[in-house]
Each structure stands twice: as C-alpha cells, then as structure tokens.
Amino acid sequence: MAPMLQSSQQWVEKYRPRQVKDVAHQDEVVRVLTNTLETTSCPHMLFYGPPGIGKTTTALAIAHQLFGPELYKSRVLELNASDDRGINVVRTKIKDFAAVAVGSAQRQGGYPCPPYKIIILDEADSMTEDAQNALRRTMETYSKVTRFFFICNYISRIIEPLASRCAKFRFKPITEEIMSSRILHICKEEGLNLDAEALSTLSYISQGDLRRAITYLQGATRLFGSSISSKDLISVSGVIPQDVVEALFTACRSGDFDLANKEVNKIIAEGYPVSLLLSQIFDVVVEAEDISDEQKARICKRLAEADKCLVDGADEYLQLLNVASHVMLALCNMPEELNYES
C-alpha cells in the first residue's frame, strides 16, 4: 500500500513555506514577526484575512522556527476546525496541554526555544461563543506559559475580549503577480507545462486564494497529465464557463420566458452548481455597464434571496428559474409587483 499513498501528498503541504520570511506577499506581517523571532518575546496573536493567503502557514512557520523539529511536538498544539471543539474540548485539551510545565529558555540545536508553549487555533471564528468565553479564562490562567495564535477569516466573529488580548495581524489578499510566481515555481518543481492563458485563468478562478489555486493545479495534473490548458483548469475547478453565464443573460435580455427557461434547464442538465452560478451572475451584473443601478439593485436582491434558499437546501432548478425570471423583469423594466396576487 505504501507506494500508492505516498504520491498523494498534497501539494499544498508540500510547498508550504517553512520560514516566516518565505511567506508570500505579507511583507509587513513578516517584518514584525521576524522581529519577534529575534527577540523570542511573543504576544498572543490573531491572524485574520481571506482564505488561502498564508495565515496558517505563517503560524506554523513561526512555531517551527521557534522550537525546531525536536521540541515542536511537545511545545505546539494545533487545533483546527476539524477537531471537535466544544467548551469541554477547550477546557480539557488546552488545560492538559498548558498545564505541563516547560523548562527554562535554552537554545537547542540553533532554535531559540522560548520558555512557553504555543497553541494554534485554526478557524477560530467557527468556535462557539461559549467556547470562546471559556477560552478567555484559560488564556489568563496560563498566560505565563502559553501563547495563543488565533487564525480566522472574519475578525468580527471573534468575541471582543479575546481579540483585545491579541496582537492583530491583517493578511492582505495576494496579488496576481505573486500568485503567478508561486504557481510557476511549483510548475517548475513538478515539471508541468502551463501556458500564459492557463495561468491567468488559474488566478481568476482561484480569486486570490493560493491554496485553492494549488489544489486546482494538482487536480488538473492528476486528471490531465503534465500539460494543462485553461479549459482543464476550469473543468477541475467546477467554475462555470463564462459563455454559459452570458447565454443565460442574453436569454433574460430577450424578455422571452420560455427561452430563459430552456437555458436554465440546460444549465441544470449540465450539472453546474447553481450557488456558484449565482455568484458569477453577481459578478457579471455588478460589472455590467449597460445596467442601471436600480436594475442592479433589483437583481442583487433576488440573488441574495436565492442564495439563502439554496443554503437551506431548496431546489436548484426552481431557484435559478426564479432568479432568471426576476433578472428578466428587471432588465426589461417590467414592474416587480405581482399583478394578480390577491
């Protein structure tokens, strides 16, 4: 069994930067953190920003650089959202880990090894409020021997008492150039052939999420071999080709309900995920120049409603048809009120 699973190592892991200074594009954060590393004095930290821009990578890199591979296991506790994280877990797991004393500061094998432990809480914003409150006490109790690294997408979902105890680092979205250079680096390592069009498609479909870009790249490689076209990437990512969205839009502009219905049927038969389609329609609508603000508002309102319904598990066809119908009404400046409703 061994040979088979070895090669399945995720590229995301394989190409994860090991050093804080290698973290792509987060210069400011990197500067502060390198400073921290030198002095080995480290506050609680809170990393936030959109997904796939190196938050977890940074946290892991710091931990590695502070303790080195030997002490890492005993000094660093990683908890991510895939673990069960109720109040009890926070109370027991963290307490158990934090309660074991650490030795004094001694450099070991070239690593600073400061006299505290690090607890990395990934996806902290998915923790319940109760759990966060419980954590607050724990932080105070063990503040002498532990440092917490919180990682989250939305800082607004971290309760204020927790956030105020941390040094906050905002991670910026990655620019296209940085992403391209990173992708090209991987391509070189893996021996892939990626043309310019495919590269720009990749950065478009991944929307600044480097992890997603790498995942797509790996998926495409698995399916299509070492030379990858833009089409391959689209099919792997599940992103809906732009012409499909355009076709739906054209049908809506025509004002012919049956035409739009047919288009919707086609999209469903092709199996495109509707929630994704909605967000792509949203992009198109917002950027369109020939649509008035009022029309945009009307359409976006429906898009939002349909998205909520989809989250609740409503039927894709009906929701998309409803959206198409309203887009049509908006584009053709037909009144939104339903005429025959009593």
Which one of 238, 246, 297, 333 is in contact with other proteins (CB under 8 A)? 238
The token pair that represents 14 in the structure block:
């394989």
Nearer to other proteins, 147 or 211 (CB): 211
1 binds other proteins (CB under 8 A): yes
Nearer to other proteins, 102 or 310 (CB): 310
Of residues 59-88, which lie at the interface with other proteins (CB under 8 A)? 82-84
Q: Which stretch binds other proteins (CB under 8 A): 17-25, 172-180, 215-223, 241-249?
A: 215-223
CA distances from 9 to 12, 15, 138, 276 (A): 8, 10, 36, 28
Q: Which residues contact 272 (CB under 8 A, 6 or more apart)?
A: 238, 240, 244
247 binds other proteins (CB under 8 A): no
Residues contacting other proteins: total by CB under 8 A: 57
Which one of 222, 242, 262, 297 is in contact with other proteins (CB under 8 A)? 222
Which one of 8, 73, 144, 191 is in contact with other proteins (CB under 8 A)? 8
228 binds other proteins (CB under 8 A): no
Shortest Cβ distance from residue 172 to other proteins (Å)?
Answer: 22
11 binds other proteins (CB under 8 A): no
Burial 262-282 (b: 16+ CB within 10 A, else e): ebbeebbeeebebeebbebbb
The token pair that represents 39 in the structure block:
């002095």
Shortest Cβ distance from residue 204 to other proteins (Å)?
Answer: 18
Sheet with 146-152: list strands edge to edge.
76-79, 117-121, 146-152, 45-48, 167-170
Shortest Cβ distance from residue 316 to other proteins (Å)?
Answer: 5
What three-state secondary structure class fits 120? strand
CA distance linking residue 53 with residue 57, whole number of Å: 9
Computed on alpha carbons and rounded to an integer, the radius of gyration of the chain in Å comes to: 25
191 binds other proteins (CB under 8 A): no
Of residues 263-292, which lie at the interface with other proteins (CB under 8 A)? 268-276
Nearer to other proteins, 284 or 310 (CB): 310
Task: Give the rounded distance of the alpha carbon of 27 from its chain centre.
Answer: 20
Give the residue among 59, 63, 61, 81 at the shortest CA–CA distance from 72: 63
Nearer to other proteins, 5 or 101 (CB): 5
Nearer to other proteins, 165 or 190 (CB): 190
Which one of 38, 104, 293, 340 is in contact with other proteins (CB under 8 A)? 340
Nearer to other proteins, 29 or 264 (CB): 264
CA distance linking residue 190 with residue 188, whole number of Å: 6
55 binds other proteins (CB under 8 A): no
CA distance linking residue 135 with residue 126, whole number of Å: 14
342 binds other proteins (CB under 8 A): yes
SS3 sequence, 12-68?
Answer: HHHCCCCCHHHCCCCHHHHHHHHHHHHHCCCCCEEEECCCCCCHHHHHHHHHHHHHH
Which one of 205, 219, 291, 298 is in contact with other proteins (CB under 8 A)? 219
Give the residue among 190, 200, 199, 195 at the shortest CA–CA distance from 222: 190
Shortest Cβ distance from residue 102 to other proteins (Å)?
Answer: 29
339 binds other proteins (CB under 8 A): yes
User: Could you list the residues that contact other proteins (CB under 8 A)?
Assistant: 1-5, 7-8, 82-84, 212, 215, 219, 222-225, 235-238, 256-258, 261, 268-276, 306, 309-310, 312-319, 321-322, 325-326, 328-329, 334, 338-342
